[in-house]
Amino acid sequence: MKTLENRVAIITGAGRGLGKNDAMVLAREGATLALADIRDSVHNTKQEIEDAGGRASSYVFDLRSTEGIRSFVKNVKEEFGRIDILINNAANVTNIAPITKMDDEKWQLDVDVNLTAVYQLSKEVLPIMKEQNGGRIIGMASVAGTLGGYGQAGYSATKMGTIGLMKTLALEGARYGITANAIVPGIINTELAKEQREVNFQMSERMRKRIAMERFGEPDDISELIAFLVSERAGYITGQAITIAGGLDLFTF
């Protein structure tokens, strides 16, 4: 039997990159997917899953809309009858500037997408999971949160906030069989990373050489861990922030 058979999973930011890869891996393990993104490309992810024999639905909406989130969760529950897994993958990563030059509206965009939406989605699915006596919540953090990132005040702050939120959810959900964990990726070889490498190869190389393993991670490095954490095999792991960075966070001379 597949490890996620009869499980319904919500994944945000599933139109491309890590979110799409998460969806494909969970579908392989038998999960039914409810995919969300602000981009229409999320429909392509749905189609790929169905072409491979899986089951999925796709929704396009803005995570900054509280009503949009409520409607989305309500529709998923009505369509599939349950919600077992929430993977908060969607994020805004385009706001790069020193604090003194950062636009306040762009700061707020980081907060709204990277943290408030995670809070709102978790708030909506938690009662459903409590009724089911079980569930799994994943928050995507970043080494930019745990280590800081020059010119990334909004992104760093919200990613560290995600870790705190997952720990609180872990406490509030523990007696109901609900686990909550944060994933802390380093530099992952997504489409966006490849595009950035083409734009500034020298900077990309400097970043690569800071990693102890001297290579970027691959999407499956993240998605396979998520598939484990949301399965029954990881039922005693909760409130953790797990770093997958190839040693980027280690110090050496």
* CB-based contact 66:45 (threshold 8 Å): no
Active site residue 155: yes
The radius of gyration of the chain from alpha carbons, rounded to an integer in Å, stands at: 18
Residue type, 120: Q
SS3 162: helix
Q: Cα–Cα distance between 87 and 74 in angstroms, integer? A: 17
Structure tokens at 155: 């992104």
Give strand pairing partners of 58: 35
Catalytic residue among 59, 119, 150, 155: 155
* CB-based contact 126:170 (threshold 8 Å): no
CB atoms within 10 A of CB 53: 8
CA distances from 187 to 11, 74, 214, 217, 243 (A): 20, 34, 11, 6, 11
Among 208, 184, 111, 195, residue whose Cα is nearest residue 153? 111
Among 83, 43, 28, residue whose Cα is nearest residue 223? 28
Burial label, 3 (beta-carbon count in 10 A; 0-12, 13-18, 19+): middle
As annotated, the active-site residues are 155
